[in-house]
Amino acid sequence: MNLQDVVNAMTLGSIYLLFALGMALVWGTMGILNFAHGSIFMFSAFMGFIVTGFVPLPLPAVVLIAVVTGALLTLAIQYFAYQPILKRVKSVAAAELQIVVAGIGIAAVPVAIAEKVTLSNNFGFQNSTFEAEVFEFAGIRITNIMILILVAGLGLGIGTALWIARSRRGLGLRAVGVDPETAALMGVDRKRMALATMAFSGALAGLSGALLTYYLTAINPHSGDGLLLKAFAVIILGGLGSVVGVILGAFILAFAETAVFAYTSGTWVSAISFGLIFILLLVRPQGILGKKEVRRT
Amino acid sequence: MMDWLSGYEVLFQLTLSLTLLALSLQIPLRMGVVSFASVGYFAIGGYTTAILVVHSGWSTWPAVVAGTVIAGVIAYLLGLGIAHLNGLYLAMATVSFSMILSVVAVNGGSLTGGPIGLFGVMGDATTWHFFIIVILVIIAISFTERGRLSRRFDAIREDPQLASAMGINVVRYRRLSFLISGAIGGLAGSMSVLMKTTISPESIGFGLIVLALTVIIVGGQGSWVGAVVGSVFFLWMPQTLDFVGTWEAVLYGLIVAVAAIYLPGGVVAVYKNWRYRRYVAHRNATLPEAVGASQGGE
Assess whether pLDDT exceeds 60 at residue B243.
Answer: no
* pLDDT average, residue stretch B9-16: 89
| Angle of CA points A179, A185, A190, to nearest 5° | 65
pLDDT band at B2 (very low <50, low <70, confident <90, very high): low
Q: With a CB-CB cutoff of 8 Å, which residues 24-43 of chain B face chain A? A: 29, 34
pLDDT in tens, A19-60: 999 999 998 888 888 999 999 999 999 999 999 988 888 999
CA B40 vs CA B22, B84, B161: distances in Å: 13, 19, 29
Assess whether pLDDT exceeds 50 at residue A257.
Answer: yes
Backbone angles phi, psi at B191, to 5 degrees: -65, -40
Assess whether pLDDT exceeds 50 at residue B63.
Answer: yes
Interface size A-B, in CB pairs within 8 Å, comes to 135
Q: What is the pLDDT of residue A284?
A: 78
Assess whether pLDDT exceeds 90 at residue B190.
Answer: yes
Any residues with CB less than 8 A from the CB of A128 and at least 6 apart, and which?
A48, A52, A56, A57, A58, A59, A62, A214
Q: Is B262 on the interface with A (CB under 8 A)?
A: yes
pLDDT band at B293 (very low <50, low <70, confident <90, very high): very low
Assess whether pLDDT exceeds 90 at residue B47.
Answer: yes
Spatial contact of B258 and B266, defined as CB atoms under 8 Å apart: no
Spatial contact of A205 and A252, defined as CB atoms under 8 Å apart: no
Instruction: Give exposure, B254-276, as e/b (b: 16+ Cβ within 10 Å).
Output: bbbbebbbebbbbbbbeebeeee
Tell me whether residues A33 and B88 touch, CB distance under 8 A: yes
Tell me whether residues B256 and A98 touch, CB distance under 8 A: no
pLDDT band at B298 (very low <50, low <70, confident <90, very high): very low
The four Cα atoms A13, A19, A23, A25 give a dihedral, to 10 degrees, of 70
Q: Is B259 on the interface with A (CB under 8 A)?
A: yes
pTM of the predicted structure, to 2 decimals: 0.85
Spatial contact of A50 and A110, defined as CB atoms under 8 Å apart: no
pLDDT band at A64 (very low <50, low <70, confident <90, very high): very high
pLDDT band at A233 (very low <50, low <70, confident <90, very high): confident
In whole angstroms, give the CA distance from residue A142 to residue A11: 10
pLDDT in tens, B30-43: 888 888 899 999 99
DSSP B75-119: HHHHHHHHTTS-HHHHHHHHHHHHHHHHHHHHT-TTTTTGGG-B-
CA A9 vs CA A12, A29, A255, B63: distances in Å: 5, 29, 5, 45
Q: What is the pLDDT of residue B22?
A: 94
* pLDDT average, residue stretch A97-114: 89
Instruction: Give exposure, A217-227, as e/b (b: 16+ Cβ within 10 Å).
Output: ebbbbbbbbeb
In whole angstroms, give the CA distance from residue A200 to residue A279: 31
Partner residue opposite B92 with nearest CB, options A113, A275, A281: A281
Extended strands (E) in A103-148? 134-137, 140-143
Assess whether pLDDT exceeds 70 at residue A142.
Answer: yes
Backbone angles phi, psi at B199, to 5 degrees: -145, 140
Q: What is the pLDDT of residue A66?
A: 95
Extended strands (E) in chain A? 134-137, 140-143
Q: How many CB atoms lie within 10 A of CB B46?
A: 32
Q: In A, which residues are within 8 Å of B254 by CB distance?
A: 105, 109
Assess whether pLDDT exceeds 90 at residue B247.
Answer: no
| Bigger pLDDT: B225 vs B236 | B225
Backbone angles phi, psi at A140, to 5 degrees: -105, 135
Q: What is the pLDDT of residue A89?
A: 79
Q: With a CB-CB cutoff of 8 Å, which residues 1-20 of chain B face chain A? A: none
Assess whether pLDDT exceeds 80 at residue B4.
Answer: no
Any residues with CB less than 8 A from the CB of B97 and at least 6 apart, and which?
A274, A278, B37, B40, B78
Any residues with CB less than 8 A from the CB of A286 and at least 6 apart, and which?
A239, A240, A292, A293
Assess whether pLDDT exceeds 60 at residue B186.
Answer: yes
In whole angstroms, give the CA distance from residue B180 to residue B164: 21
Assess whether pLDDT exceeds 80 at residue B264.
Answer: no
Helix (H, G, I), strand (E, B) or coil at A134: strand
Tell me whether residues B92 and A100 touch, CB distance under 8 A: no
DSSP3 helix / strand / coil % (chain A, rounded to 5): 75, 5, 20
Spatial contact of A266 and A275, defined as CB atoms under 8 Å apart: no
Assess whether pLDDT exceeds 60 at residue B113.
Answer: yes
Spatial contact of A93 and A31, defined as CB atoms under 8 Å apart: yes
Q: Is B213 on the interface with A (CB under 8 A)?
A: yes
Q: Look up residue B28 and give its amino acid.
A: P
* pLDDT average, residue stretch B174-192: 94
In whole angstroms, give the CA distance from residue A204 to residue A18: 6
**Based on C-alpha coordinates, what's the Rg of chain A?**
19
pLDDT band at B297 (very low <50, low <70, confident <90, very high): very low
Average pLDDT of every residue of chain B = 85
* pLDDT average, residue stretch B46-53: 94
Spatial contact of A99 and A85, defined as CB atoms under 8 Å apart: yes
CA A14 vs CA A131, A215, A260: distances in Å: 21, 12, 18
Top residue of A32, A35, A87, A101 to mutate, by most chain B CBs within 10 Å, is A101
CA A80 vs CA A106, A137, A163, B173: distances in Å: 11, 51, 29, 37
Any residues with CB less than 8 A from the CB of A17 and at least 6 apart, and which?
A153, A154, A156, A157, A234, A246, A247, A250, A251
Among candidate residues B162, B151, B4, B180, the one with its CA nearest the CA of residue B79: B180
Q: Is B96 on the interface with A (CB under 8 A)?
A: yes
pLDDT in tens, A157-211: 999 999 988 888 888 888 887 787 888 888 888 888 889 999 999 999 999 999 9
pLDDT in tens, B126-140: 889 999 999 999 999
pLDDT in tens, A263-287: 777 778 878 888 888 888 888 777 7
Q: Look up residue B3 and give its amino acid.
A: D
**Eight-state DSSP code of residue A291:** P
CA distance A157 to chain B (A): 24
Say what the ipTM of the complex is: 0.80
CA A176 vs CA A19, A30, A189, B290: distances in Å: 22, 7, 10, 47
